[in-house]
A and B are shown apart, each in its own frame.
Chain A
Amino acid sequence: MKVKKVFNIMNVISWIVFVGYCVKAGAITIVSILSLFVNKNVTENLYMGIDLSNLYSFNKIHYTFFVLLIILIVALKAFIFYFLIKIFEIMNFNKPFNSLVEGLIFKISYVSLSVGLIGIVANSYKTWLTYKISFTELDIDNSAYIFMAGVIFVVASLFKRATEIQFENDLTI
């Protein structure tokens, strides 16, 4: 019963975080498109105080590439929570082990790894850019995601083993 409650709380949290990341990714995408084609002044507040006006004035290509990296990271984070929501949808708590859930957990680990790696690239790119110009301090260090990817991968491997055992059990019965 307690676990069922935690399960439901996790589902609600996943939805909230998923919607939050979707809104963030959408807002940055729309504002950056506006900044490129309509009004360059919007670069002063891309999303919740992110000011990239200096970067825009410095070089449009660097600006576009940097914004694309940010959008990619946020979108991938949203994807992680999308997979999590899918897991909650599919998973039967009485028989939790099946290949669909296993596949989704593996996918989460790969996406987490991508977030971590792209985060490292974006962070290095930001550091390189700050030598040339100054712009808003952005926290895009996602190295924790690499660690989490490893943990999730191990969990997924354990899940795979458990699925095999459950399948074997079902066959025996």
Chain B
Amino acid sequence: MKNNTNILTFITWGLLLSAISILLNDIREFDFNQFKEFHNWAKTANKNEPWFTSENAIQWGYYAISAGLFFWRGYLLYGFSYFLSILKEIENGNYFSDKNISYFKKIGNIFIWYTINVLVLRFLLATINKSTFNFFNELKAEFTFLIPVGLAFFILAEIFKRAKDNEEENKLTI
């Protein structure tokens, strides 16, 4: 068990670090390419127009949604980091601790909230860009993986609660 947790801790760290580096790179690219475009647009924009023109609102909306998407990706990575805490608990021999149960619940929550929010943000982004949004295709990509996994973690949390009760009962009997 200990060897397995060590291997998994190593894999989780690798995955987390690579995902964080990809996210940071995406944020850097976003700043360089998109923000420059926005700056150019701001220079040439008609200054007599009121601030809250539709074009302005659309541009800011675009940035707000992009920032939101980055935030949720970061939030998902934060969720992944709970795996490290679970593995640490297991390594310490606390298989069915309260902490582990709450970590499983948190991971489930984060996965589901990530999927729902990213779907909504992508829909808004598609509306702003006036591009097509295939709800079924977008949903399929996330739905087949993250939502079932999120729900599975909810169930696992509950099952481990039972395991904890059994363990306590067992200790009392001894």
Contacts and interface: CB of A to CB of B under 8 A. Distances in A.
A158 B155 CA distance: 14
B8 A165 contact: no
A6 interface: yes
A150 B11 contact: yes
Q: Which of B87, B95, B158, B166 has the most chain A CB within a 10 Å cutoff?
A: B166
Contacts of A96: 159, 162
Given A158-B95, A165-B167, A3 B158 contact: yes
A150 B8 contact: yes
- Secondary structure call for the B interface: helix
A144 B12 CA distance: 11
Interface string A144-173: 101110110111011101100110110010
Nearest to A4: B158
Contacts of A50: none
Nearest to B14: A147
Contacts of B5: 154
A148 B68 CA distance: 26
A144 B162 CA distance: 29
Contact of A158 (B90, B147, B152, B169): B90
A23 interface: no
Interface residues of A, number: 30
A158 B4 contact: no
A14 B156 CA distance: 16
B141 to A, nearest CB: 9
Interface in B1-20: 1, 4-5, 7-8, 11-12, 15
Nearest to B100: A158
A17 B158 contact: no
* Pairs of residues from A and B, 7 with the lowest C-beta to C-beta distance, nearest first: A162-B163, A150-B8, A3-B158, A10-B151, A165-B166, A172-B173, A96-B159
Interface of B: 1, 4-5, 7-8, 11-12, 15, 83, 86-87, 90, 95-96, 144-145, 147-149, 151-152, 154-156, 158-160, 162-163, 166-167, 169-170, 173
21 contacts: A6-B155, A10-B155, A13-B147, A146-B11, A150-B12, A153-B8, A154-B4, A154-B90, A158-B95, A158-B160, A158-B163, A161-B95, A162-B95, A162-B96, A162-B159, A162-B163, A165-B170, A168-B170, A169-B169, A169-B170, A172-B170
